[in-house]
Copies of this chain bind each other. A is one copy, B any other.
Amino acid sequence: MPLISSYKEEKMDVFECIRNRYSYRGRYKNTPVPRQDLEKILKAGLAAPSACNKQTTSLIGLDDPALLASFTDLVKKNGFEGEKPPAGVCVLTRGILSYRDKPFYVQDYSAAIENMLLAITGLGYASCWIEGQVTENTETQEKFSRLLRLADDYIVVAFLPIGIPEIEAKHPTYKLFSERAWFN
């Protein structure tokens, strides 16, 4: 039924994606992530807004097994409990000032990461926003930079694994709507 399958591929409801996204820390299947999917994910990230359109975020799509093994080792060493994925994204920023001498690059890359997490969910993969274990210490960041052969003005801020989850994971417990949202 080609029509149905192409429909499925084309339409991934935004609210469904938002609800279904979760942080996955288990093993990934060996199924490779096609370059085409990786490119879609990167494009979703780059389409995020940035303060004064400074576009401070840059991205590196990863499908090289050696690089992915190194990055997974580095974040595991810093306490991340997760496994090597078949693909991933390294999120980079340049720590520049965007608006009236203030930096907004954290907001910029966070919006880009959220877009990518939704794109990853929409394509049927799982991921996890790994930031604390990347920026834990400058030593880790420098190792990332060296492996990625980055120019000095780029800083690695996050690593997103991408793959098909091997086990079913649960959403965390959320507070009630009435505890976090109000009207007027």
- The residues of A with any CB-CB pair to B shorter than 8 Å are 10-15, 17-19, 21, 23, 35, 38, 40, 42-49, 51, 53, 55, 57-64, 67, 99-100, 102, 104, 106-107, 110-111, 113-115, 117-119, 121-122, 129, 131-132, 136, 172-175, 177, 180-184
Contact = CB atoms under 8 A, between A and B. Distances in A.
A77 to B, nearest CB: 14
B63 A44 contact: no
A132 B181 contact: no
A42 B10 contact: no
Nearest to A64: B184
13 contacts: A14-B122, A18-B118, A19-B47, A43-B181, A46-B174, A46-B177, A57-B180, A60-B182, A60-B184, A61-B181, A104-B131, A110-B110, A110-B114
Contacts of A180: 46, 55, 57-59
A128 to B, nearest CB: 9
Nearest to A99: B132
Contacts of A67: 184
Contacts of A183: 35, 38, 60-63
Nearest to A48: B114
A141 to B, nearest CB: 14
